[in-house]
Structure formats: C-alpha cells, structure tokens
Structure 1
Amino acid sequence: MGFFRNQFSNVVEWEEFRDDMIFWKWSNREIKKGSKLIIRAGQDAIFLNNGKVEGIFEDEGSFNIDSEIIPFLSTLKGFKFGFNSGMRVEVLFVNTKEFTVRWGTQSPVLIPTPQLPGGMPIRANGTFNFKVSDYVTLIDKVAGIKQSYLVEDVKIRITSVLDQLLMKWISREGKDMFNLQANASDIARGIQEDLDMQMMDIGIGITGFQVMSFNYPQEIQDMITKTASHEMIGNLQKYQQVSMTDGISSGKVQGGGAASDMAGMMMGMNMANEMMKNMNQNNQSSNNQNQGQNQNNPNQGQQQNNNASASQASNGDGKKPNFCPNCGAKNEGANFCPNCGQKLA
C-alpha cells in the first residue's frame, strides 16, 4: 500500500527551479484528489495532455487542482476522481522573466574592407535580452522533447549565427571601418531584428541587443591611437614626420647609420627653413610698418630732407646758413629767419 500511495502527488510545483532555467516539466506522475498546484512569482503553469495544451495558469498562489484547476481545463472538465484513482498529466512551468546574457565573439570576424585584402579582423562583445513569447511554439519545437531548457541553450543557438550577422550589419552600416562604435546602435538594431526572426521559430523573442565595444588587432589599434593623438587622419606627410621624430626621441633611430643621418639632416633643414621663414616675416613686418608711417605723414620726409640740407649748409665757421634749420626757408645772409624768426647766427 505504501508503494501505491507514492505513485500519487500531493503538490505540483517547480521542484528544480534555477534562475537560468527557462522552463521545467513536471511529469511521469499522477495527480490525486485534493492535490495542490503552487505557482510562484515569475512563473506560469501550463497543463498538457498527450502533448496538447489543456490550460495556462498565470496567477501566482496555491490552488486546489480538482476544484480550481480541473474545471478550467478544456478536455478534462468532466474528469471525476475515484477514491484511489489518479490522473496522469504533464505540467510545464515557464519562467516569465526577461533574461540578460553576455556575448562575445570566440574568434575574430573578418570584415571585408578595401584597405585590407584579407579583411579586417574584428572582435566584439555586448549583451542581448530575451524572453518566452509563444508557449505553443515553445512546446511544439522544444518542450515536447526536453525536460528543461537553460539560458545557455539559447546562448549557444544565438552565438552560432552571430558571426554571420555581425559581418552582414558591419559591412552594411560600418561606413568608417576604423570607428565602428559610432554606428554601434544601427548595427545592433539590425542584428536584433534578424535574431528575433530566427528565434521566433522556437517561441522566444529577442527584446534587446547591445554592442558594448568593437576590438581591433593591437597593431591597428595602435595606429588608430597615434593617428587620433596627432590629429593626422589623411595627412601622410605629417604622420611620417612625427613618426621619425618619435623614433629619434625614443632611441629607436640612433647610431651612425643612414637612417639616423637622414633623420638628422631632415631635422636640420626643417629648423633652418623655419628660421629663414621667421626672419623674412619679421623683415616684411618692419618694412610694412615704415611704409605705413610715411603714408600717415607725407610731409615728414620732406621736412627731414630740408633739415639735413640746412645742417649741411652750415659749415660751423660762424657763417650764416643758406637755409633755416627750423622751417627750411632760404636765407639771404640775415641773422634771423625771415619766415619763422629762428636765430641763424
């Protein structure tokens, strides 16, 4: 009798609950009269009979199966319990929460680009979100043959196609292959739409997809960093000049070799050119300043010439000058200038 009683269950509940479990199936036991169904927060209970959905219960709580559950089942409403008889059904417990999963490329994805014939090797990482969206499809495609289903199972399914989707949407939206982060939201949106279409086949909806970062090979990342730090995008000459200067200052270009001599000669020529350029600019500035002064006072030059002539006319032996040193007027031997009154002797 003890063995017979163990064939029946008093409580139907999710017995092996895990946070990363999408669904778990209660099966291979019979329900006896007076049994309880326990549904916890974040769970739905689906009654199955011969693989078909009999009823879906979403409210959390404890329910009497024969009085609160059976009357609502589609084909089992007329089921009557005997004293020791039972009813064999399956109950699928589904986790209703939204799952968040981290993803990352296992190996570099080769993105076609004109700059690199073999493709740009890029790694990426981020997160995606999903939840169960269609119970009937989930039961038909997955739960019918599995006892449980984990988040890891969904992750494996998604990462198996993720490389192809990354290649597709990076090539389509990645206009600047060296700054993919600028188009990360557009790339992620396209991947989410494609993944949602694929996962819909098993009753799961992709509710979000994010690209956290794109990672380039180290040598390409170093080039991008140097280019950005020196503001030399598209300026090859400047890049070469700074690279040579960096090499000399770091000691990578040293000794009496041809590279060192050439670098020193180029630096010397550049410094001489800069000095000559600065000198020419200073001379030009001085000439412009003098010309500006003469234009502002055109009589100043004439006055200076008259003063010089007067000074030359005075020979320092007591004779009166031929021209007044003050105003430049001609003198006819007078002691005072007839024009301005300046003393001349």
Structure 2
Amino acid sequence: MSFFRNQFANVVEWEEFRDDMIFYKWKNNEIKRGSKLIIRPGQDAIFFNNGKIEGVFQDEGEYDIESQIVPFLSTLKGFKFGFNSGMRVEVLFVNTKEFNVKWGTRNAINIPALGFPGGMPIRANGTFNFKVNDYIALIDKIAGMRNQYLVEDVRIRITAVLDQLLMKWITREGKDMFNLQSNSFDISKGIKEDLDMQVLADGLTITGFNVMSFNYPKEIQDMITKNASHGMIGNVERYQQISMTDGMASGKMSGGGTASDMAGMMMGMNIANKMMNQQNENQPNSNPLTPQSPQPSQQNASDSQKPNFCPNCGTKTGGGNFCSNCGHKLIAE
C-alpha cells in the first residue's frame, strides 16, 4: 500500500490482541502524516491528549488518520501535518466484550453461628461478569498511568473485598446457616451491588455475580446430608431398612461362605415380611358395609360337625346338610 512508502507513516493498531486484556495503549504517541488507524471487531479506539478525550471511534475498519480521523477530533480538528511534524496524541484501544471471571474464597470465612464460638468456617465459589462502561473514568483512574490492564488485575481487586462482602450478606437478616444455597440469589444480588460501587470510579461495571456453591467443613456437611436423608425418608425405621438393603445390594454386608449368604437371605426375608406386615396394618377395610368373608377356622368347625353316615338310616352323607335317603337333618341347630 502507498502509505508504507512514506518513511514517516505508521500504523496505529492493537498489536497482539489478547482476550484477557481490558485495554491497550498505543506506545508511539506521535502520529505521522499518512498514518492509518485499524480497528478490529470488539475494539474501540479512543484518541486523547493530556487526559482529555479527543474522539471515540467504534466502527471496525481501516481509516486514513489525516482525512478521516483528525476532522472529528474535538480540539485537534484543525491540525495540519507538516513534512517533518507529527500529531502528538495518545490512542487507547478498549476491549468492548463482557468478561466472565471465576472466583473462590482464598481462605475459609468464619461466619458467626450459634454453637460455634469461633464461627463456622465456610468457603464459596462462583463467577462474576464485568465490562468497561465509562472511558473518561477509565483514562483518569487507570489508563493515564498504565499501558495495559488485564482481567487478572480486576479479579485480584474483586477477591480482595469478597470475604467481607460474603460475611456481610450471609449474616444479614438471620439467614439459615445450614442451607445457604437456598439464599444464594439474595446473597449474590447484594454482593453484585456492592462490587459495582467498588469499581464504578474506575470506569467498570459489574454486570453479573453468581455464587455457585457454599462449602462447609466435612463434619458439618456429613451432618447436613444425613439430616436431609432422614427428612426425605420420613421414618427412621424405614431408613434403617433401606440402608440395610442397600448394604446387602452393594456387597458391603456380605461375608464369605454359605453361612453369610444364609444370614443375608434371612435378614432380607425378615425385612420384607416386616414391611409387608406394616403395609397391611396401614390399609384396613374402611367400609363397614362390605361383607367379610367367613374365617377358615369357622368353616372348618362347621364341616367337622357333619357325620360321614346318616345316624337314622346309615346312608353315606356325602357332605350335605340332609340325608339323601331318608331326609334326616345331619347338623343339629
């Protein structure tokens, strides 16, 4: 291209673009005649001089600075390039994407809780999102003193205040210390608002904050899990039965040899019988008008009173109530 023939010309661009870089300051602050500006997707180019923004260019493409950029600069629009003179101005490239960052507490946070004199140690992790929203504040607070700014710089700053904010919003309004996950939405919302105030002066905004999980000490977590299991079963005896059945199915209760196999089988039969009896007891006949079938013991008693031969004529009865030969009644009332 023709501008490369001019020994004074240069290209103003963000070289070695990185996704984790929030902004990049063009190093050579003297722009020569014939220079070009290149804006790539996801970038804004900001021209500023002595801390004052001259112009912001957001559309991607390649531009001739003398003819397409200078006429739009606020105080430099009348600048004319001479043969040996260049325009002294700084160019800041800003990454316009929304950044997503993972976070986690560096150490356990001792949250005040009843029964825990030193507090309950809790860890937490999640994600937060942020982006640049105020170029003037960004230049005034950060870009005016630094050539580049990374996502890691923001993550370090955020995690430095997270412990205090987590403690503030976890203990607020007496939240259930053993079921913090159910309150994670309110906790996350409060922390997001506080963090946004922390970075607002730097030209950044927190667009999202999320607590993925709260982690208790192992002993506390085991207790929570056990209580939840009892609550789901609703019956301690049934919980024991299911635990025993699971143990046999998984082989944890199995031994070696026929004796252990028989013991396991008998145990399983006992559990099954007990569960069947409980089920029958819990399902009585609720309709008193429904006729009940005669008990086998009563039927057998009446059958046993019938003689095999008629006491009047000696004919075999055959199980009837009257003799088939003489009509004698076989069962006394």
TM-score norm. by structure 2 comes to 0.69
Residue by residue over 1:58-115, the C-alpha shift from the partner in whole angstroms, topping out at 9 and shown as x without a partner, is 1110011011100000111111111221111100000000000000011111111113
Q: Which residue matches 1:83?
A: 83
Shift of 1:205: 0.4
Contact 1:109 1:123 (C-alpha < 8 Å) held by counterparts: yes
Please say which of residues 78-87 and 133-142 is displaced more in the overlay: 78-87
Query: Where does residue 56 of structure 1 map in the other structure?
Result: 56
Seen in structure 2, the aligned counterparts of structure 1 residues 234 and 186 have a Cα distance that, compared at 3 Å, is: farther
Do the aligned residues in 2 keep the contact of 1:13 with 1:39 (CA within 8 Å)?
yes
Q: Which residue of 2 aligns with 1:179?
A: 179
CA contact (8 A) 1:46 1:55 kept: yes
Superposed, 1:155-174 pairs within 5 Å as 155-172=155-172
Matched, 1:224 2:211: no
Instruction: Tell me the CA shift for residue 235 of structure 1.
Output: 10
- Matched residue, 1:47: 47
The 5-angstrom pairing of residues 181-196 of structure 1 reads 181-196=181-196
Aligned residues of 2:192 and 2:208 also touching (Cα < 8 A): yes
Task: Choose 11-20 or 62-71, whichever is displaced more.
Answer: 11-20
Q: Which residue is equivalent to 1:24? A: 24
1:215 partner amino acid:
N
Deviations 1:20-51 (A, max 9, x none): 00001113442111110001000001101112
SS at 1:195 equivalent: helix
Amino acid aligned to 2:191 = I
Q: Please say if 1:93 is aligned against 2:93.
A: yes
**Partners in 1 of 2:163 and 2:155 — Cα distance?**
13
**Distance across 1 between alignment mates of 2:20 and 2:219:** 39
Q: Secondary structure at the match of 2:77?
A: coil
Structure 1 unaligned residues grouped into runs of 5+ = 244-249, 252-273, 286-291, 294-315, 317-341
1:112-261 mapped onto 2 (5 Å cutoff): 112-172=112-172, 175-231=175-231
Does the aligned pair in 1 maintain the 2:32–2:85 contact within 8 Å? Answer: yes
Mapping of residues 187-336 of structure 1, within 5 Å: 187-231=187-231
Residue of structure 1 equivalent to 2:305 = none
Map of 1:68 onto structure 2: 68
Secondary structure in 2 aligned to 1:17?
coil
Tell me: CA distance 1:67–1:113, structure 2 relative to 1, closer, same or farther (3 Å). Answer: same
Displacement of 1:237 in angstroms is: 12
* Unpaired stretches in structure 2, ≥5 consecutive residues: 1-5, 244-251, 254-273, 286-291, 294-310, 312-327
1:230-277 deviation digits (Å, cap 9, x = unpaired): 2289999999xx99xxxxxx99xxxxxxxxxxxxxxxxxxxxxx9xxx
Specify the code of the residue in structure 2 equivalent to 1:139: I
**Whole-Å Cα distance in 2 between the matches of residues 232 and 117 of structure 1?**
31
RMSD: 4.5
The CA deviation string for residues 180-203 of structure 1, in whole angstroms up to 9 with x for no partner, is: 111111111111111111110111
Larger Rg: 1
Shift of 1:119: 1.2
Question: Taking structure 1 as reference, are residues 234 and 135 closer, same or farther at Cα in structure 2, changes over 3 Å only?
Answer: farther
1:155 aligned partner, one-letter code: R
User: Which SS does the other structure have where 2:188 is aligned?
Assistant: helix
Distance 1:143 1:85, change over 3 A: same
AA of the residue aligned to 2:58:
E
